[in-house]
A and B are shown apart, each in its own frame.
Chain A
Amino acid sequence: MDVGEIHRRLRDRFENAVAPEVKPGEWPVVQVQAPLVAEVGRFLRDDPDLAFDCLSNLSGVDRKAADEIEVWYHLMSYRHRHQIALVAATPRPDPVMPTVSHLWPIANWLERECFDLLGVSFTEHPDLRRILMPEDWVGHPLRKDFVEPDEYHGISTRRESLLKL
């Protein structure tokens, strides 16, 4: 199914929660309101003509200038071989997104990664813990205002430049 038709169905079902324009590309980008992401996802997965059975990627982007955190969902359908990217923005001071881990099990780990590195909190996620960083780490490293700590458990993170020795 071509992206115009997918977008029209989304607009029919969710009206203004889905942005009126689509950004074309290999992954056509559709803007969605953050609180509705799980419902939009369920619709995209369960409608037999759309059948987005695979969440290919889930990435967070810290848009500091806009004071928002964007979460990107790259979805594809093995049945119909079409693909789409959903993007939703959530306020940067308190980023909250609904989980989609009940729709696509791989989202469990991808959301944990997004939480770990960008601090996005996914509501009703079954196991929202850090995944890559140590669990006693402070802060979220991929935030643009993240300041690297001077040391971690007595291990210094500062080092003289080798060129000066």
Chain B
Amino acid sequence: MSHAIDVDIERQTPGGLETEEMTLNMGPQHPSTHGVLRFVVKADGEVMRRAIPDIGYLHRSIEKIAEKVGYHGFMPYTDRVDYVSAMQCNQGWAMACEALAGIQVPRRGEYCRVIASEFGRLASHLLSVGATGMDIGAVTPFTHAIREREYINDILEELCGARLTFNYMRIGGCAWDVPPGFVKRATAFLDRFEPLIDEYNELISFNKIYVERLANVAVIPREMAIAWNLVGPNLRGSGIRYDVRKDVPYSVYPEFEFDVPVGTGERGTLGDSYDRYMVRMRELKESCRILRQALGGIPAGPVIAKVPRNFKPPAGEVHVRVEASRGDMGWFVVSDGTAFPYRVHIRTGSYAAMAIIEELSKGLMIADLVAVIASLDIVAPEVDR
């Protein structure tokens, strides 16, 4: 986080006309930055030379807190890492602790986790695609997306009592079993929701103005996506079929049938903003598929394994990954055998997506910067932690 804007004014004289580089400030409070973050934009007229991200405004030292509150006590804090999609953060932390201590989660617990995580993914992707529309000037689709997201919040509230910061999972399983009638209500929601994805596509995804604003904008080729460690839909938008749920299987995901959609450059170039957007739209359908299978096949039994209240995993290091809504989220946890984690490092999808913007912004229009942020689905608290 830096306070000073370094102003270096370049003077050029192409054809005798003198122009200056303009330094613009975007943020930290800006409706399109999806949280508190700031860009220093060096622009030549309407074209950006580069946009320099300045992060740290939402740094809450979550990793330091982990060292103070112990393994069980850290669970509610993981909700705040990515509050748009908190379930998978819960799961990442729980899985890291289980890997350290060698705990087996009961099958019903794993099913509850998958159901919770996939509903979380639906909610997160809905917010993302809705906000993409809003950021480039289409407000109506946002209201549609948020309407459905409210129903998902209701479903998750039934599950754990909270609508955003869930604190649902525990080391060894889940805090609560699904309530009576949950499966019926969740299935009814899916029956209603799935046709709405097509309606949503008709409303905006194939709209000419919308396509023009996203296609061929901020193209990320395959090699660039890998070198910058882009993950999740951003990586798959560049045509790389990699999903932690498939490629490093965890939980009960291997039991479900689902596809991993990738970008194809259908309206422009492979790896453009439109590809990343469409990957999210298609993942909505895949999440519904997983949910139907999980809701239909939920086994009997306990949802949580017996875990000592005074949880002291043996000394060691683990690096666990989950497929969060913003992609491969890495949890590096070091234990020294005491009741407090020795070191926790959370490597999130938005961190890489934020880092790539400086490179990506070269030569883009200023107005496209918000489209790029939206298409990379950056959530500021996940960058800063």
Contacts and interface: CB of A to CB of B under 8 A. Distances in A.
A104 to B, nearest CB: 6
Contacts of A106: 227-229, 352, 355
Interface string A99-126: 0000011101110000001000000000
B384 A59 contact: no
Interface in A81-98: 81, 85
Interface in A30-81: 53-57, 59, 61-62, 72, 74, 78, 81
Interface stretch (B53-61, B147-155, B208-216): B53-61
Contacts of B328: 56
Q: Is the interface of A mostly helix, strand, loop or mixed?
A: loop
A57 B329 CA distance: 10
A63 to B, nearest CB: 9
A29 B334 CA distance: 14
Nearest to B333: A59
Interface residues of B, number: 38
A78 B226 contact: yes
Contact of B319 (A27, A117, A135): A27
B351 A109 contact: yes
Contacts of B61: 141
Contacts of A53: 223, 226-227
Interface residues of A, number: 34
Interface in A113-165: 117, 129-136, 141-142
Contacts of B3: 134-136
B319 A108 contact: no
Contacts of A25: 318
A26 interface: yes
Contact of B343 (A62, A109, A110, A132): A62
A37 B3 CA distance: 33
B64 A142 contact: yes
B240 interface: yes
Contacts of A56: 229, 321, 328, 330, 347
B247 interface: yes
A20 B345 CA distance: 27
Interface in B223-261: 223, 226-229, 240, 242, 247-248
B39 to A, nearest CB: 15
B332 interface: yes
B194 interface: no
A81 B240 CA distance: 12
A118 to B, nearest CB: 9
Interface in B315-369: 317-321, 328, 330, 332, 334, 342-343, 345, 347, 351-352, 354-355, 359
